[in-house]
Structures are given as C-alpha cells and as structure tokens.
Copies of this chain bind each other. A is one copy, B any other.
Amino acid sequence: MKAVNRQIRLAARPVGLPAPGDWEQVETVVPTPGEGEFLVEISYVSLDPAMRGWMNQARSYVPPVPLGEVMRAYAAGRVVASRHPGFAVGDHVTGPFGVQEYAVCDGRGVATVDTGRAPLPTYLGALGMPGLTAYFGLLDIGRPRPGDTVVVSAAAGAVGSVVGQIAKRLGCRVIGIAGGARKCGWLVDELGFDAAIDYKEQNVEDALHKHAPDGVDIYFDNVGGDILDGVLVHLALGARVVICGAISRYNATTQVSGPRNYWWLLIQRASMTGMLVSDYADRYPEATAELASWLADGSLRAREDVVTGGIGGFPEVLLLLFSGGNTGKLVLEIAGSARLGRDG
C-alpha cells in the first residue's frame, strides 16, 4: 500500500474571510503508525465556525494553528491500521484528526463510535462536539427551568438546533433566530420551536417584543454583534446569557464594538458567561449517552448538511458557515475507502 494523503495546510493568516491563497493543498505519503498509534482513514471532516478563530495569530483558548501545518479539525473515520491496544482495525472513530485524508494518532481526544446507533456524520454533529456544546452550555450555564423562555441564535446550525430541542424537551418556550424563511420554517415545523425570527427580514428587537413578552430567561448566543445587543434589552430578571460563539465577529477586519447593551445585565441582574465544551470532557460519555437516547426516542432530531467534494473542497465549503449556506451540521465528505483502491 502506497497511498497518497492529501492535506489542507494553513498557508497564511486570513484577513477577513479566508481566501484561496490562505490554504495550501499538499500530497504526502500516508504515514505508518508507530507503537501505541493507529492510522485513521478519514471519511468526514467537520466544519465549525470556531475554525476561523484558530487561524488567527492571537491569544485564545487554544494556540493558533501554526502556518504550514495541517488545518485543525474534528473528523470521523475508520481505523485501517493499529498498533494501539484500545483501537482495532475497523473501529469507527472521531477525533481532532485535521483536514486530511489520513491521520496517525495515539488516541488522545479520540472516541470510538457505534455506527449502528447513528450514522458517522451524526457523531460530528448532535452526538459530537456541537451536541455536547449545546448540552453543557444549555444545562450547566443556562440552567433551564420549565416555562423559561429560551432564545438561541444561529438556531439552524449544529449547536443551535440541538440547544432548542433540548430546551423544548425540558418544557421551555423556545425562540430561534436564523437567517431565511427556509431555516425558520424548519425550526418551527420540523423541530417544534415555538417561534423563529428571520434576522435578515425582521427587526430582532421588535420580534422579541412580540414572541417573548415576558422577557428572555436564557439566551444562548452563537453570533454576538447586533443580535446579542437586541436580545440584551429583552432579558428577564435573573436571565442567563451563554456566550458560546460570536460568528458575526470572526471575519471582521476592523475593531468590532462590544455589546453596548451590556448594562441590561445590571438592570435585570442577569449574567453572561463564556463556555467551552472541552471543560466538560470527563462528562462526555454520560452526555453522549443521553443525547443518543433522545435521538432514539425521537425527541431529538439530528441533521447534517453533508457536502461532497473531498479534501480539495474544504476552502470553499468552509465559507458556507459564514454565508449562512448550511442548515444543521456542516460536514465535508471525503471519498473514503474508495481512495485506497484508487491509489493502492
């Protein structure tokens, strides 16, 4: 076997939206696992808004991806060679494998998943980091109570769609904010949200006045910017704002302003708290099991937006996150097992 491993490496720090020249596609030889390692053939690469932050040279919760390195990404695939006692050939796994066709790893951050329970891409969405982010952010930081009014932005995205569904399960009133009638219709008609606000067509403040007349108890924020400001003035007494993302800021080329309405935190004795899913790593198994049981009983619906195109499609597909082009979890499909045959 002498297969090629195609990789997408970070070639330059983007200014604004990542441009084609910020990436470099490289062909290397598929690596051989050493003792205690295994080789994963990657089938699906996860595309996440947070990736944009990882590309910047700035202090953050993780170090920047170094220039010239394979782009950091969660991915899902199959073990095709192993010298690791915990992973066998044929196992399906997810982990931080990067934007490439093959990855050698030692098992850190890798989970074995059961494709009998859910298809592999779901383990990058509702049963992966996005689902876990929704789970811990809503339950631990938002602390929902039955009857609470919960607002979530980027509601048709991988995290937001799970946040809203969990909140519905708990007896909350759920309002999603999303861009476009199609996404809003999906939230209400398919996922059972109580209302959806199309921020491209509606004034968010006015719409919240209508849909959340008693105020917002929990705001799960994935976007920042004007939408965050619009929700702040509608907070209820003792509200909790979960800061999970700020996609409106990620591609800014000038200094972005902060939430000018943060003063409503005082007026309503509310809190705004940042969360990162990796803080909850020791609780992933219990949370994943619970999410899976909800998928099984139909109270949680997973949706992946799987785009084909292979590794080479990554630079373009990533941009869908910032143009609002995806509904549900955006995943890039890699050619998979066909490759070995093709190249071997």
Contact = CB atoms under 8 A, between A and B. Distances in A.
A112 interface: no
A255 B255 CA distance: 17
Contacts of A243: 262-263, 265-266
A131 to B, nearest CB: 19
A83 interface: no
Interface string A248-271: 010000011111111111111111
A65 interface: no
B269 A271 contact: no
A273 interface: yes
A317 interface: no
A194 interface: no
Interface stretch (A28-36, A98-106, A274-282, A325-333): A274-282
A24 interface: no
A260 B262 CA distance: 11
Contacts of A274: 263-271
A246 B263 CA distance: 8
Nearest to A221: B266
Q: What is the total number of copies of this protein in its complex?
A: 2
Interface string A305-329: 0000000000000000000000000
A295 interface: no
B260 A265 contact: no
Contact of A267 (B60, B264, B267, B279): B60
A45 interface: no
A62 to B, nearest CB: 10
A275 B266 contact: yes
A244 interface: yes
Interface in A44-61: 59-61
Interface in A178-236: 224, 229
A258 B262 contact: yes
A249 B273 CA distance: 23
A268 B276 CA distance: 9
A61 B267 contact: yes
A12 interface: no
A67 interface: no
Contacts of A275: 266, 269
B258 A261 contact: yes
Contact of A258 (B257, B269, B273): B257
Residue from the set A249, A259, A272 with the largest chain B CB neighbour count within 10 Å: A272
Contacts of A59: 267
Contact of A260 (B229, B257, B266): B257
A262 B262 contact: yes
Contact of A259 (B258, B264, B276): B258
Interface in A137-192: none
